[in-house]
Structure 1
Amino acid sequence: MFKGLGGLGDMAGMMKKAQEMQEKMGEMQDSLSSVTVTGESGAGLVKATATAKGDLVGLDIDPSIFVASEKEMVEDLILAAIKDAQTRATERSQQEMGRMAEELGLPAGMKLPF
């Protein structure tokens, strides 16, 4: 029935590989929750910390920028720091997923999860 498919005809082996991959994906998702990245703006006046999953977990604002007349600038700096942290989180997540794909022997550049 599976003649000509070579190693792909081994359904039990494929199922085992799929289960291993699913377990590794679960482990990777859990680990991304504990990896943090920090984005910043205003030469470090505002720093936002996020998990590699993109969840914001901290915000550090230098008190020197709290001037009522500079409210809009402070808001812009906060947003910029959060966006920077989210970008870094996405990059870190992609790095970790790429590493896992490589460990599983998947082709380079293959996006996970499928």
Structure 2
Amino acid sequence: MCEHVGDACACRLALVLERVPQLHAMDLSRNQLRALPDSAFQLPHLTRLDVSRNRLTELSPRVAELQALEVLDVRANRLERLPESALLVLLKLREVRVGGNSPELLASVRSPELRAKLVESTEEDV
């Protein structure tokens, strides 16, 4: 868990998340996270996940485990692509906020269904 993440903040986060499985919304913005711990994807009731303004270079395909997720905010990270097949299985997902990432991110999304859920924002919105 923590060995994979390699980030002290994320390791502490993993320990906390194991104690709150009923969590509905989680704001992890502005924490300089480079990765999310596995326990972040073991929250079956999570409807909103904000990981904006971190240092994420990828989003784990394990995001598919968040079956209740409705809004995902990944703005202002270092993402070049999204785990498209993982996001497509999230039937309740209605919005993915992606502004402030690599320009390649939008071009990498091929699914019209996922494209319709992407929200680009300006830096002021982040």
Q: What TM-score, normalized to structure 1?
A: 0.18
Q: What TM-score, normalized to structure 2?
A: 0.17
Higher strand share: 1
Higher helix share: 1
Greater C-alpha Rg: 1
